[in-house]
Amino acid sequence: MYKILTVIGARPQFIKAAAISKVIIEREDVFEVLVHTGQHYDKNMSAVFFEEMGLPKEKYNLNVGSGTHAKMTSEIMIQLEDILIQENPDCVLLYGDTNSTMAAAITASKIHIPVVHVEAGIRSKRKNRPEELNRIITDHLSSILFPPTKEGEINLKNEGVFYNPSKRVSNDNPLVHNFGDVMYDNFIRFKSLLGKRKGILSNLNLTEKKYVLLTIHRALNTDNHSKLTKILTAVNTLSLKENIKIIFPIHPRTKKQLDADELKEVKEMMHQNNNIVLCDPVSFIDMMILQDNCKLIITDSGGIQKEAAFFEKKCIVLLESTPWKELVSSGVLIELTL
């Protein structure tokens, strides 16, 4: 029996892992042990995805919670090392670009357990973003890499990460294979359920095609108060000028920042605008419903940018650059420099 040890910790990883775990459950020759780092811990950031998407319960929860990058990364590494030695899996399966991903890649590769990286090769070409550092480190330590796009494959090749078929697979000679995007697999799997569940639209009093979906959570936007003020002021103006509702599920990081004294005025401005609907983070299916029925998406999330393309929606990206260059050239994404 082949043993895969999967390490996940943040919302986008629960979503990606759901697509692969479903397939692993159906097989008799592969067995999965799930480790949840606890990077995301609120019910609406974690448990709701396990329930809704049928992820198996984790065997270990490291409960690392929040902290500085080094604190979070080191706590994951210390706890995970013991688990890896005890479980001795055939490989460690990782997703995306979070601190949990990088911490697990370093820990596993140091004790010679092969690392498999799903969503490899993605680059924003901005090393001031923690996610970019996590991507580069994880990719260069992995033995098997699954870039979701052609561009991802090219990025890896440019960094010397490619396979030489005359040699054994290892992290010195990694296997790189573009099998497509697990998020698209989720899209196909859950799209068929959308017709039956529209509750979120009536709960939030939204009319189809008459609202804009907004998400903001990147530290570069949220922790820079003048930038966050600019974004929210622009969104407020858009909603008043166009008389359109803005639905804004607030990530915990953003919520914390909005409680700062400096942002009191902008928070007050939003509360006075009846067109701005603030709510807690929503489940995967509710997010799909919100995407499917909106007029426009404004986001700094890597995943939502891609899903905008799946739903054929225009999307304004609140980042200096996006890793999904194909979506800019195809006209789905509009990059906005603030």
Q: Which residues bind ligand UD1 (CB under 6 A)?
A: 10-12, 39-42, 45, 66, 97-99, 130-131, 217, 251-253, 256
| Beta carbon nearer to ligand UD1, 16 or 313 | 16
CB of 58 to ligand UD1, least distance (A): 15
Active site residue 117: no
| Beta carbon nearer to ligand UD1, 42 or 208 | 42
CB of 7 to ligand UD1, least distance (A): 12
| Beta carbon nearer to ligand UD1, 40 or 306 | 40
CB of 76 to ligand UD1, least distance (A): 10
- Please check whether residue 288 is in contact with residue 190, taking contact to mean a CB–CB distance below 8 angstroms: yes
The span from the first CA to the last CA of the chain, in angstroms, equals 52
- Please check whether residue 289 is in contact with residue 197, taking contact to mean a CB–CB distance below 8 angstroms: yes
| Beta carbon nearer to ligand UD1, 71 or 177 | 71
Distance of CA 40 to the CA centre of its chain: 12
| Beta carbon nearer to ligand UD1, 99 or 186 | 99
What does the angle CA 97 – CA 101 – CA 103 come to, to the nearest 5 degrees? 130
Which residue, among 262, 184, 194, has the nearest Cα to 222 in the 3D structure? 262
CB of 151 to ligand UD1, least distance (A): 19
For residue 240, what are the contacts with CB-CB under 8 A and spacing of at least 6?
273, 275
C-alpha 177/C-alpha 91 separation (Å) is 17
Taking CB atoms, the residue at the shortest distance from ligand UD1 is: 66
C-alpha 152/C-alpha 150 separation (Å) is 5
Which one is catalytic: 36, 117, 217, 251?
217
Element containing residue 199 per DSSP (H, E): helix 199-203
CB of 167 to ligand UD1, least distance (A): 33
Give the strand pairing for 2-8 and 115-118: unpaired
Residues linked to residue 248 through DSSP beta bridges, in sequence order: 278
- Please check whether residue 213 is in contact with residue 297, taking contact to mean a CB–CB distance below 8 angstroms: yes
Structure token digits, residue 11:
């919302």
Active-site residues, by number, are: 217
